[in-house]
Chain A
Amino acid sequence: MSAVTDDGAAPHVSVEGLAVGYGDRVVQSGLDFGIRRGSVFVIMGPSGCGKSTVLRAMVGLLEPRAGRIRYGGTSLWDAAPERRDELRRRFGVMYQGGALWSAMTVVENVSLPLEEHTELDAWTIRRLAELKLALVGLSGFEDFYPAEISGGMNKRVGVARALALDPEVVFFDEPSAGLDPISARRLDDTLLALRDALGCTMVLVTHELDSIFHIADDAVMLDPVSGTMIARGAPRELLETSTDERVRRFLRRGEA
């Protein structure tokens, strides 16, 4: 994929002057970035810098302090509730902790969005759910409950559920954290294949460098101290050209 360039086309997702926080505390502010349609975009930064918080604002769970988040021109937080729901229906979200519905089996977790939002028959829904589970390497675990599978497997079910409706934009909060290197690479390959096949835009929060260099087209780096973004661009270019010490250290595994 090409590096970050302003190719003229309007971005699929654009974040303009975003500020987010809890209570009296502003966690991140002054965020500005665009995400091209069909690209893989990574939000990176040290633990606790506010990546998940930014993601929560982007999916419509946490109201921003300031700024806008636009999807194809529509501002998520200024839209009427029905319109916001309509936008959300085209999202897939994978939570950092999995957030599986614990009273349902693995396959039911993946099927529920399909049952709720499509008119498909039960056979097709079951097959679709099985396909998504197979894509994350979980064939054969369909009828287990979330409590009966491991933490990493829970995460992968979360990924499968996020992909259930072939969404236009998928958000993943640290999909490969806690996975072994082989499963992590497989997951990255699956995400790339899905992006190529379905043309969806992917927004990932991660600090796995392997993942970042392997799949990210563009990235932003958030900084916990200044509470804003300190770098934006393709990860390889940032590694080669960035003059910011914090960015270089991060991308070189802490070596100066």
Chain B
Amino acid sequence: MAAQAALVRARDGARLVLHPEGAWTLAATLAPLPPLLDELFDAELRQVRFDCSALAAWDSRLVVFAREVAQRCAARGVAFDADGLPDGVVRLIALADGAAGRRDGAGHLAERGFLRELGEQAIAFLRSAGELIEFTGAATVALVNMLRGRARFRYRDMFRVMQDVGAEALPIVSLISVLVGLILAYIGALQLSQFGASEYVANLVAIAMAREMAAMMTGIIMAGRTGAAFAAQLGTMTANEEIDALRTAAIPPIEFLVLPRIVALVLMLPLLAVYANLMGIFGGALVGLTYLDIDPLQYVTQTREAVTLTDFGTGLFKAAVYGVIVAVSGCLRGMQCGRSAAAVGEATTSAVVTGIVFIVVASATLTIVYQVLGL
């Protein structure tokens, strides 16, 4: 139960006495002050004074109010008598009105033999899989909290990331997807023309893009672009102790920084994959229509018959999974960052490598799962 506070005003002609009552603390409930402050002053007012006899407790909340009253009095030429205020308040106001930052070095590296290096790298890979899963778990808990309305969620951050991941990534996604479509069509054409089945290039391109390549290519582009950016942002924040400062302010960094980024990527990556699909098919069609001389209408029909909604859906699901992987590896590496500029560089590299490795692992795993499920 929050403490109650109130302000009683006693007006006597040109004089006004303010009686703050109850607990004037940050936790107390109190009617909004600005409208009240506006009402206080009129043409006849000459003197303002405080009477704190009914005040039970106070903190900065009262200081802020008293200071505001004093400032408004000064601006209007009204006499302000501070005698009725607690001494501490007067002293803090006087102090506030009376006025006009090193870093520890990077970790040192010891010499290591080749075998030891190899073994440590292998262990590091296994450990990084564990960390990724653990971090995803923590993020999931935060997500559940958010859905239950219990977590703080920065929509502003999410929209900024969505813009960065979405609209601003379109040029590079277009370029890569068209080229991938083109390459697929060329390779397909070389093989299929041996059987006189070159019009099946349309099927090959469409299925490959829908089930696999669109999602994977956007995932890899995002790992390089956005995953790296996340790691650099959070890494710099870690190096500057900004993350520690969030923790000691009891603001969970996962909810505050990581969740908006994951949600943004999970929403945007499938959308980008849809776009990449179209671009890839377009790239394939360029080869089909020019080099192979396929009739445009036939190419379109072939494509439509080749791809089912399931193909499309499986691809988009993969894209969403890659979104989680890219966001989590970027944020995780950023938050594990050391306390130096060099460490930020390492975190960025590591985020991209982790992202790409786990995209490929996830892709293989999902392909097998789809196979088993008959999708």
Contact = CB atoms under 8 A, between A and B. Distances in A.
Contacts of A128: 26, 60-61, 64
A5 B59 CA distance: 28
Nearest to A165: B26
A123 B33 contact: yes
A63 interface: no
A244 to B, nearest CB: 28
A232 to B, nearest CB: 26
A117 interface: yes
Nearest to B236: A102
B244 A95 contact: yes
B81 interface: no
A193 B88 CA distance: 7
B123 interface: no
A131 B64 contact: yes
B68 A193 contact: no
A155 B101 CA distance: 5
A116 B249 contact: yes
Contacts of B83: none
A13 B99 CA distance: 33
B93 to A, nearest CB: 9
B147 interface: no
Interface residues of A, dominant DSSP: helix
Contacts of A121: 32
A59 B248 contact: yes
A93 B248 contact: yes
Given A89-B250, A113-B249, A131-B64, 17 more contacts: A61-B247, A97-B103, A98-B101, A100-B240, A101-B237, A112-B251, A131-B60, A131-B96, A134-B96, A134-B99, A135-B92, A135-B95, A178-B101, A186-B99, A196-B91, A197-B86, A197-B92
Interface of B: 2, 25-27, 29, 32-34, 59-61, 63-64, 67-68, 86, 88-89, 91-92, 95-97, 99-103, 152, 236-237, 240-242, 244-251
Interface of A: 56, 59-61, 85-86, 88-89, 91, 93, 95-102, 112-114, 116-121, 123-124, 127-128, 131-132, 134-135, 137, 139, 150-155, 158, 161, 165-166, 178, 186, 189-190, 193-194, 196-198
